[in-house]
Every structure is written in structure tokens, then in C-alpha cells.
Amino acid sequence: MKCPFCSHLDTQVVETRPSEEGDSVRRRRQCGACERRFTTYERPDVSFPNIVKKDGRRIDYQREKLLGSMRLALRKRPVSTEQIDSAIERIEEKLLALSAREVPSTRIGELVMRELRKLDKVAYVRFASVYRSFEDIDEFKHLVDEVRR
């Protein structure tokens, strides 16, 4: 495995751990040249459905894009990387369980909101306010009231 810091090809596995769900393996590696450590994940290669955007475009599923949007909502919130990874794995399991070739992006947005609501209420409100494109303060207030219940 090539080091992401110095591009040296000699890295060693320092620690190996299965995920909580048992569907991936987390490995801590150390570079033989610069001695920096980094994490890799080993997952089975599965085919996710294409995503149908609101404008009708079809794009490939991108885990990195999902991770980025969740991290943005969870920015400066007390949620661990492991919790985020587990949430993404649950979303991916649901996508695969649909056995569909295409999934509307709105379906993924709903899955993300469900996971964020479990993880952190503030992140849920952040994501929902952007995802639902609130037009006025009353819509936002309604969402906050809903979360408080």
C-alpha cells in the first residue's frame, strides 16, 4: 500500500480490526520511510445503484460525497469517526437491500437525515435546513420544534 504522505511503497500493517457490523476490516498502517500512520478500510466490492438527481441526471454512487455531506453537517459536533462510518455503512446496507438499479437522490437524503437524527440533533437540523431548502423562518422553526419533541 502506497503511503498517502510520501508515496513510499513500503508500509506495514500495525493493527487490524473488523468493523462492528463485520462487513469491513479497518487497518492501521505505518510507512517504512516517513513513519507516519494512516488508516485503510477493506470492503467487499459491491455494485451500488445509480443515483437519479432532481434534474434527471444519473450519476454513480460516491461514498466520498456522502461522507463529505455528513461531515459538513457534523462539523464541530461530538460525534466520532467510527460513528459516522457506521452510519454510512447502515445507509449503504439499505441501498443494497433495495435491489434497485437506480435510486432517487431524495431517497438518499432521507436516509442521511434519519441517521443524523440518531447521531446528533444539531447536525440533523443543519442538514435538513439545506436539504429541504427552507424558504422562510417558519419552516425552520417547525423543524426545530419537531426535533424537540
Per-residue pLDDT of 103-119, as tens digits, reads 999 999 999 999 999 99
Task: Please name which of 65, 9, 55, 61 lies closest in space to residue 32, comparing C-alpha atoms.
Answer: 9
Average pLDDT over residues 66-90: 94
The confidence band for 9, taking pLDDT boundaries of 50, 70 and 90, is very high
Residue 50: predicted pLDDT: 94
In terms of C-beta distances under 8 Å and separation of at least 24 residues, what long-range contacts does 98-106 make, across chains too? 98/49, 100/49, 101/49, 101/50, 102/49, 102/50, 102/51, 102/52, 102/58, 103/49, 103/50, 103/51, 103/52, 104/51, 104/52, 105/51, 105/52, 105/53, 105/54, 106/54
- Rg of the chain in Å (alpha carbons): 18
Mean pLDDT score of the chain, rounded to an integer? 90
Residue 15: φ, ψ to 5°: -150, 140
Residue 23: predicted pLDDT: 78
* pLDDT tens-place string over residues 116-132: 999 999 998 888 888 77
Residue 88: predicted pLDDT: 94
Global pTM reads 0.66
* pLDDT tens-place string over residues 37-55: 999 989 887 789 999 999 9
Residue 21: predicted pLDDT: 73
* 35: region left, alpha or beta (phi > 0 left; psi from -120 to 50 alpha): left
